[in-house]
Structure 1
Amino acid sequence: MLSEKKKKRNRRNRFPDLEKISDRFNPNKSAHKPFPAF
């Protein structure tokens, strides 16, 4: 049985591009770094 944290980590690893897109439109995350490349 997977823990919730492990599920979330696996989902994040499975969709790295979605994470990059969400980072680009999240001002708190993108403020300290350039926009990620698609």
Structure 2
Amino acid sequence: MEYKDKQELKWLIAELIISEIHTKDTALREVVNWINNFDRGR
């Protein structure tokens, strides 16, 4: 998988998380957690 594709996937899922949570502070924490987990390969 190309790095660019992984970045796009991160942002797609980040947008999904944000759109479902609606509270920006909570969404941001969820996105940060998700991206950190993603970067660790989980």
What is the TM-score of this pair, normalised by structure 1? Answer: 0.38
Which structure would you say has the larger Rg? 1
Could you say which structure has the higher helix fraction?
Answer: 2
Higher relative contact order (CA 8 A, sep 6+): 1
